[in-house]
A and B are shown apart, each in its own frame.
Chain A
């Protein structure tokens, strides 16, 4: 607590001016990443053509002097995919940041409260169980419903008889629910008659942005913008929550109700992201920590910085996923964990900052 507060960002002071430099650098980095990521792919298309296609599709200018396949690859496959990577990466990081404060646990990530195992149950029902209520959107809808149901379940279970919801109870309920839901997934997978279905389930649970379409961007983007704005507005309460229960109460935060609203928001955001990308690990856990090591613990800084860093990380992870073993694809979750974990450990050994919830 002392250490977090000691960094000078705990209270209501204005965000220091040095931070706007960091934010600008991250914004520029994200723009550069998206630009570069759209010209990289298993199929080589010259950067000029990529941007001519984009200009043509966006504004109607230019007469196509590229092949139909190139046009489709750039505009229907790459752009939605790169943008979806940015949105999902940002979303998972923002949720991770908020959840680490909400449950005051450095191990919290978007999936700590059963979100991923709930979404997996939904996905398995569609892939191996043949449940197809919403046509091509069946998988997304099932994943969203699964994640949301798991969240609600955990919130209800974590409530003590007195109506109090402590971080510890939340974590324990989340872990218990995750085990139960994972067991359901395993059971359904074992009941599958076909090894191909089992493989599809595995690919889905490791995360993939390969299914990206323009339609998939609208809802996650709206959720990301709305959710981040709401959380930013609550930065002071988040700071207080991260500092500790007593501090928060002293600062006038009604912790129980605030935590509950926070969790519902996080649950909705997680479900939205999982619906379009499967369960991509590591991003939501490590990006908030990494960002805190650099910009301190104030959520007015951490939230925007985490959103931008998460976006950049996932855009590049997906570039690796779709090019490293081309023409095959790797599950993006494998890339995020494989590349991200060593980087994080290196950063952790170099820096001696406080982690979310540490020492609080």
Chain B
């Protein structure tokens, strides 16, 4: 399973590249940051960025044929107005609906090299755990495409990566608008729940065996931002198998379950031992749209909002 140590370094590099990118991103076109070089002309190219695994990638001009290897990245590209340049996506992509028309060139494990080659692409964006520096270099060579790796691990980093993607594809201004909107929205949610007591929350990823979302998962971060406390915060893994006994003992105020596993509130309420849960007794079991919270794209704040509304119903009346 995924261990923290394996992404700490890339994560730091990623954050560093972002902070550097932001520093060169002032409205007056101030001096470029440590990792962003080249003249600050209107087009923004040539452009050099450092990606999540510490690779420096330089673009001489605006990418015209883009492959997105993560639904979150695809959503971002559509949100910043680069939809007509997206030529390849993964089998899991389903949002926005217009993405149906785009060719599928791989799945969450990675792209099909031949398909990518046939599309004559100039930018591939990867965003999954297995995308290491070596993998990215290899893929860049095989597909003769510039490869950029993103791997945000928090909601905040996800919002920042929206700005980074926008910048990559030459839609800096639109990206800034989207990023600002997301931060505003997140701030409003934060304000609404700020004065409220923090309820405890259990999030079910899968029912049998019982799996939850621990530290290092977006869900864990989203619960925190939504003004809740994740009862599984002391597990050592992003998606661990969880003890039912401990769940019953900790008796969370709210029980959330991702809808993609197909569970219903009735099924959850009828499980052995569950009738003793306060959340079951008082009708505080909610099925949430997990696509929103597991995809670090422009809808992630909607996911935070969905959780916040479920666990702070009064604040959102």
Contact = CB atoms under 8 A, between A and B. Distances in A.
B267 A203 contact: no
Nearest to B240: A328
Interface string B91-111: 110000000000000011100
A73 B248 contact: yes
A211 interface: yes
Interface stretch (B147-155, B203-211, B303-311): B203-211
Contact of A211 (B209, B235, B247): B209
Contacts of B272: 72, 76-77, 80, 212-214
Contacts of B276: 68-69, 71-73, 76
A72 to B, nearest CB: 4
Interface in A167-216: 190, 193-196, 199-200, 203-204, 208, 210-214
A193 B70 CA distance: 11
Given A42-B246, A322-B245, A72 B275 contact: yes
Contact of B245 (A43, A80, A135, A199): A43
A213 B258 CA distance: 23
A249 B151 CA distance: 67
Given A72-B248, A322-B243, A130 B273 contact: no
Given A69-B276, A73-B248, A132 B262 contact: yes
A327 interface: yes
Contacts of A130: 262
Given A200-B211, A325-B236, A77 B241 contact: no
Contact of A77 (B206, B242, B248): B248
Given A69-B249, A139-B208, A193 B243 contact: no
Nearest to A330: B241
Chain B interface bracket (under 10, 10 to 19, 20 to 34, 35 or more): 35 or more
Interface residues of A, number: 40
A203 B211 contact: yes
B273 A193 contact: no
A73 B209 contact: no
Contacts of B258: 196
Interface of A: 41-43, 68-69, 71-73, 76-78, 80, 130, 132, 135-136, 139, 190, 193-196, 199-200, 203-204, 208, 210-214, 322, 325-331
23 contacts: A41-B243, A43-B243, A43-B245, A69-B248, A73-B245, A73-B249, A76-B276, A77-B272, A80-B272, A139-B208, A190-B109, A193-B92, A193-B108, A196-B258, A196-B260, A210-B209, A210-B243, A326-B246, A327-B247, A328-B236, A328-B241, A328-B242, A329-B243
Given A72-B276, A193-B92, A196-B211, 11 more contacts: A72-B274, A77-B244, A77-B272, A136-B270, A190-B109, A196-B258, A199-B211, A210-B241, A322-B245, A327-B246, A328-B235
